[in-house]
Structure 1
Amino acid sequence: MALPQGPLEHRYQGEHPVRTLAYLFREDRLRLLVAVLAFIVKHSPAWLLPLVTANIIDIVVERRPISELVGNAIVLVVVLMLNYPTHILYVRCMHGSVRRVGTALRSALCRRMQELSIGYHSRVSASALQTKVIRDVENIETSAQQSADTGLAAVITLAGGLGVIALRVPAALPAFVLVVPAAALLVRRLRGRMRSHNEAFRRQVEQLSSRVGEMTSLIPVTRAHGLERTALLRVDGSLRQVLMAGIRLDLLNGHFGALAWILLQVIGLAFLTAAALVSYYAWLPVTPGDVVMLSTFFTTLTGSMTMLMGLAPIFNKGLESVRSAGEVLQAPDLEVNAGKAEVTAVKGRLDFEGVYFRYDGEGPAAVADFDLAVPPGETVALVGASGAGKSTILNLLIGFIRPVSGRILLDGTDMATLDLRSYRRFLSVVPQESVLFEGTIQENVGYGMGDVDSQAVRNALRDANALEFVDRLPNGLDTIVGERGARLSGGQRQRIAIARALIRDPRILVLDEATSALDTRSEALVQEALGRLMRGRTVFVVAHRLSTVRGADRIVVMDQGRICEIGSHAELLRRNGAYARLQATQMS
């Protein structure tokens, strides 16, 4: 099903979320109208039943023809029978619309996340974005459904009931207009008191949850020092507090619940008595059936008014989630590729000309006056202390960030004029911590490659020194690697990542601490695989361990964002400068 592109086009910032909701549902306006009409029919017994009951009572009391009794019964049965098809139609139209909007909104959020810059993703945690996609959209769906179900039921019951009263006993209408809202408000106030106590209890339960989580995380320390009893006493104290608070809450809820019920029943009894007296003394033309109808409507309309008042927090929760989703959908920090030249071929030459970059416009420059010409096929290693600017250079090279000043040329063309998505098809990155998804080895190696055949995957795995362990796995290429590759060792995950890079045959290769987290044997296997991967390509290597960059054509030594030395391993050692000092420090 093709999803609408609309959610990305709306102006969320500064727009009231109700208008945003109306915008999101604009494609489903006809379905929503059908849903409302279906709901009116399906919910009509709520106000029709008291009227028919009144008619039947009057027929019996006044000894009117039995045909009238049968006619009223048939009308009610027909209306009741219509409930099923109209309810299904309502659910299909209303709930279906809500689900479609939720799906389109999630799709729009995911699309926008792919368009947002890496700088944005470095500032906003992945868990916060995941919450917006899952929880916030779920809140919007739930709020929309509950508001529609409860709100329509309450409004239709009120409108239908007041309409029947206005036609049948117009003199009673002012009493309903005054008494029903007042009674609903009193009940709402009492329930509001209960809610505040419920929230206080919920916070205490959350504190208990935190204490239990603390206990479980400290179990190794607790066991190691024989502190099991101390840990249990801490949790037992919280359990006793929650127990006493729960009992107090139950008693308070009991008090308030009983008071609210008594209050509503007393008001209802007073209303019934008043209606009966009016009918008994014939002060107004009110029949015995009207007395029953008015009493029933009082309870029904008061409940509807209370439901409407209770919708506010549910609706507000949904609106807040609309604002939360809008923070991502309207985020301005986008990687703009529209209208730029598409990269169709890459030779591999890269030129950094006076590149300067500063994060967030504050603090010292991360990279300053960076000049470097890299011909096709050369391997360049970036070394230096933490914070020297090595990772910033890689991010500039990949296009995650743009230079504040200066420029980077790809085969002589300024990268600022290129569609970076097409450029990255010729680039592969092997990071320090390889990222695998929960799928098969074949799916991970061929990720994004379409229908790649098994032999090509096996060739890439062989060149990555990974085929020897893959063939030993029970299902070979079809082995599920687990979430983030949890079923594989660090060295195995890294060799899968190298195979993923190999199968793409990149012209530019970025190795970011690709062996730093591995043991000696795994590092040797990975280094051998990297040697095959680097052959004939332009390669940028970042490494803390200088032993891994000795074979680079040139080593660029960086300090505080600037180049302080360039040369081969042997040349830099002979100069006895910054690189030689780093070497001596690591060997000591």
Structure 2
Amino acid sequence: MATREGPLDHRYRGEHPVRTLVYLFRADRRRLAAAVLVFTVKHSPIWLLPLITAAIIDTVVQQLPVSRLWGSAGVLLFILLINYPLHLLYVRLLYGSVRRMGTAVRSALCTRMQQLSIGYHSRVSAGVLQTKVVRDVETVEQMVQQTAETGLGAVTVLIGGLVIIGVRTPEFLPVFLVVVPAAALLVMRLRSRLRSHNEDFRQEVELLSARVTEMTRLITVTRAHGLERDALNRMDRTLRRVLGSGLRLDLLNGSFASLAWVFLNVLGIAFLTGSALISYYGVWGITPGDVVMLSAFLTTLTTSTTTLMGLAPVISKGLESVRSAGEVLQAPELEENAGKTEVTEVRGGFEFRGVGHVYDDGGDGGQGRAAVRDFTLTVQPGETVALVGASGAGKSTVLNLVIGFIRPTSGRLLLDGQDMSTLDLRSYRRFLSVVPQESILFEGTVRENVAYGMAEAGDDAVRRALHDANALEFVDRLPDGLDTVVGDRGSRLSGGQRQRLVIARALIRDPRVLILDEATSALDTRSEALVQQALARLVAGRTTFVVAHRLSTVRGADRIVVMRDGAIAEIGTHDELLARGGAYTALHDGRPA
């Protein structure tokens, strides 16, 4: 399998997707060549059968030695029997290569997503990225598999059949070269008329999917207001549209299948009759076996040509998925850490020198309004600084600057005297923990969530962190204690329990810098009290930045920074700011700051 970094070396954007596919399969090119060879041998009965059938018929009709009959049957039986082991070998060679390619691309996509900036992730939805990792790669895998299986089969039949016809009955070769593509083209023209109807049906099914999602999301509202009948009537209208569209599509598919079947069989009868007359009158020395062979090849080669033409949508969809994955693999917005100073120790001192940050508004390289401007502040190691202000004042932007998710667009931000633009932020974040408003847990046990990224942490360390986070008392009551699975996003726990596990996760890391972003805003009074006690233990001795709307949660901070329109309005302790009667007092009294 390709290395995790290997697939990123290729120039995906602007590169033809076929060249990209060749690049992705470079490590398995010998296996793929062997797969083509094995497939050609295992698939040979399809194009050898008409020839062997012709030999058997001629043996019977012309009363040739019976040994020819046994020889023909023996050859056919042999190539049929070796199909099974050859097919298994083919699957191992081809499908193994495809799976390895898909795994390598998914690994490369996940690696790239970890490297891309937070700004990129804020613009591109998680659903889109998930689709690229799961569906797009699956589409590429299916394209290669279908094209190899179906396309190779059609190509070997075409080449094998035309070679046999050219050797056995060369007079008919020009006829096949004209009639087969013409018949296949006509069948494809009939099929293309179905495309718009397939599109209509797909759109109706997508609308049905959206309606079902909407219905399930609104179940509580619907039931609370007694609107079940209205919801079902709305769904029934959508279901009737899907039913009508589906029936129309089924009728058209049936018509196409019948017309194609009639046309190909009429063509086959006409060709059979013509070749039989040629044999009957002794023209070109055509034998009865040749007549059967030519008739069989007409159907086989026409079907193969139609199959090849029908692969175009599959290939087109697969190549588009290659381009889609390339959009992530070559996205330029990377967090640059290469060659920068690795952080081995953090005391926790921060100095903001006239820091400003302006977000790109995404239009023609222009810039939007400044989220933070002329922000100047010195934070001592171990100090707790609270950021307060109305929504949009710039508090979250300051936190993102401290975490290193974004860089100052003006001014400088220093960590322990070093400009953060010169530091490897990945190594810096080993000394940092974030407790966000939304408790982020994954499907796993309590132990796995608390010790996430701390493989060396034992049960004693986990239990100590849970105790300090006021979480041990409820964890011990869980059915399996530390081994209890918390559910998707911690769905089996209450909000307060989830937040205390997040605090335990922060405690076990023993960070030097702590970010508390609305850590208690979504909790009830009892849960907030327990979480506040845990946070008090967590904050002790650490440089802490706190953002909170509830001013009661920040009154114990060493300093409170009041922000307005991206700038600092005033700084002081809780009592100092209230005594001034300024912006903080207005916020405290619930008035506009």
Under a length normalisation based on structure 1, what TM-score does the superposition of the two structures give? 0.97
Contact map agreement 1:6 1:24 (CA 8 A) in 2: no
Aligned partners of 1:185 and 1:495: how far apart in 2?
A: 67
Matched to 1:376, the amino acid is P
Q: Which residue of 2 aligns with 1:514?
A: 519
Contact map agreement 2:586 2:592 (CA 8 A) in 1: no
CA displacement 1:180-220 (0-9 Å, x = unmatched): 01111111111222343233233333334444444444444
- 3-state DSSP of counterpart to 1:363: strand
Matched to 2:64, the amino acid is R
Out of 363, 369, 373, the residue aligned to residue 368 of structure 1 is 373
Contact map agreement 2:2 2:27 (CA 8 A) in 1: no
Aligned partners of 1:246 and 1:428: how far apart in 2?
A: 54
TM superposition shift of 1:422 = 0.6
Change in Cα spacing, 1:350 to 1:4, as seen in structure 2 (3 Å) is closer
TM superposition shift of 1:75 = 1.4
Q: Which residue of 1 aligns with 2:296?
A: 296
- 3-state DSSP of counterpart to 1:300: helix
**Between 169-178 and 449-458, the greater mean CA deviation after superposition:** 449-458
Q: Which residue of 2 aligns with 1:62?
A: 62
Contact map agreement 1:184 1:305 (CA 8 A) in 2: yes
Matched to 2:446, the amino acid is I
Matched to 1:444, the amino acid is N
Change in Cα spacing, 1:492 to 1:110, as seen in structure 2 (3 Å) is same
- 3-state DSSP of counterpart to 2:340: coil
CA displacement 1:203-251 (0-9 Å, x = unmatched): 3333344444444444444444444444433333343444344333333
- 3-state DSSP of counterpart to 1:474: coil
Pairing 1:401–2:403 present: no
Unaligned runs of 5+ in 2: 361-365
Correspondence list, 1:345-360, <5 A: 345-360=345-360
Contact map agreement 2:2 2:104 (CA 8 A) in 1: no
Q: Which residue of 2 aligns with 1:431?
A: 436
Aligned partners of 1:219 and 1:424: how far apart in 2?
A: 42
Matched to 2:36, the amino acid is V
Aligned partners of 2:255 and 2:427: how far apart in 1?
A: 68
CA displacement 1:358-378 (0-9 Å, x = unmatched): 000522211111111111111
Aligned partners of 2:4 and 2:452: how far apart in 1?
A: 26
Matched to 1:329, the amino acid is L
Aligned partners of 1:333 and 1:266: how far apart in 2?
A: 61
Out of 435, 452, 462, the residue aligned to residue 457 of structure 2 is 452
Pairing 1:472–2:469 present: no
Matched to 2:302, the amino acid is T
Q: Which residue of 1 aligns with 2:40?
A: 40
Contact map agreement 1:41 1:82 (CA 8 A) in 2: no
Contact map agreement 2:390 2:564 (CA 8 A) in 1: yes
Change in Cα spacing, 1:373 to 1:126, as seen in structure 2 (3 Å) is same
Q: Which residue of 2 aligns with 1:263?
A: 263
Out of 495, 499, 505, the residue aligned to residue 490 of structure 1 is 495
Change in Cα spacing, 1:238 to 1:150, as seen in structure 2 (3 Å) is same
Matched to 1:9, the amino acid is D
Q: Which residue of 1 aligns with 2:246?
A: 246
Correspondence list, 1:521-536, <5 A: 521-536=526-541
Correspondence list, 1:276-295, <5 A: 276-295=276-295
Q: Which residue of 2 aligns with 1:205?
A: 205
Change in Cα spacing, 1:522 to 1:587, as seen in structure 2 (3 Å) is farther
Q: Which residue of 2 aligns with 1:87?
A: 87
Change in Cα spacing, 1:237 to 1:543, as seen in structure 2 (3 Å) is closer
CA displacement 1:42-98 (0-9 Å, x = unmatched): 001111111111111111111111111111111112211221121111111111100
**Between 267-276 and 174-183, the greater mean CA deviation after superposition:** 267-276
Aligned partners of 2:391 and 2:541: how far apart in 1?
A: 30
TM superposition shift of 1:587 = 12
**Between 307-316 and 246-255, the greater mean CA deviation after superposition:** 246-255
Matched to 2:83, the amino acid is N
Aligned partners of 2:483 and 2:222: how far apart in 1?
A: 42
Aligned partners of 1:565 and 1:288: how far apart in 2?
A: 103
Pairing 1:421–2:443 present: no
Matched to 2:155, the amino acid is V
Correspondence list, 1:499-510, <5 A: 499-510=504-515
Matched to 2:398, the amino acid is I
Aligned partners of 1:471 and 1:224: how far apart in 2?
A: 37
Q: Which residue of 1 aligns with 2:560?
A: 555
Correspondence list, 1:316-395, <5 A: 316-360=316-360, 361-395=366-400
TM superposition shift of 1:4 = 5.0
Matched positions, count: 588
Contact map agreement 1:357 1:367 (CA 8 A) in 2: yes
Aligned partners of 1:229 and 1:468: how far apart in 2?
A: 46
Aligned partners of 1:235 and 1:427: how far apart in 2?
A: 49
Aligned partners of 1:108 and 1:99: how far apart in 2?
A: 14
Matched to 2:272, the amino acid is L
Change in Cα spacing, 1:282 to 1:204, as seen in structure 2 (3 Å) is same
Aligned partners of 1:120 and 1:50: how far apart in 2?
A: 59
Aligned partners of 1:120 and 1:511: how far apart in 2?
A: 23
Aligned partners of 2:512 and 2:244: how far apart in 1?
A: 68
Change in Cα spacing, 1:418 to 1:228, as seen in structure 2 (3 Å) is closer
Matched to 1:397, the amino acid is V
Matched to 1:365, the amino acid is A
Matched to 1:18, the amino acid is V
Correspondence list, 1:113-132, <5 A: 113-132=113-132
CA displacement 1:75-132 (0-9 Å, x = unmatched): 1122112211211111111111000000000000000000001000000111110111
Matched to 2:387, the amino acid is L
TM superposition shift of 1:410 = 1.0
Q: Which residue of 2 aligns with 1:102?
A: 102
Change in Cα spacing, 1:222 to 1:548, as seen in structure 2 (3 Å) is closer
Q: Which residue of 2 aligns with 1:582?
A: 587
Aligned partners of 2:527 and 2:351: how far apart in 1?
A: 34
Aligned partners of 2:240 and 2:167: how far apart in 1?
A: 59
TM superposition shift of 1:252 = 2.7
Out of 540, 543, 555, the residue aligned to residue 538 of structure 1 is 543
- RMSD, aligned CA: 1.7
**Between 539-548 and 155-164, the greater mean CA deviation after superposition:** 539-548
Q: Which residue of 2 aligns with 1:15?
A: 15
Change in Cα spacing, 1:467 to 1:15, as seen in structure 2 (3 Å) is same
Q: Which residue of 1 aligns with 2:171?
A: 171
- 3-state DSSP of counterpart to 2:354: strand
- 3-state DSSP of counterpart to 2:193: helix
Unaligned runs of 5+ in 1: none
Q: Which residue of 1 aligns with 2:305?
A: 305
Change in Cα spacing, 1:234 to 1:357, as seen in structure 2 (3 Å) is closer
Identity rate, percent? 71
TM superposition shift of 1:319 = 0.5
TM superposition shift of 1:572 = 1.1
TM superposition shift of 1:494 = 0.8
Correspondence list, 1:132-143, <5 A: 132-143=132-143
CA displacement 1:306-344 (0-9 Å, x = unmatched): 100000000111001001100100000001111111111
CA displacement 1:534-568 (0-9 Å, x = unmatched): 11111111111111111111111111111111111
- 3-state DSSP of counterpart to 2:346: coil
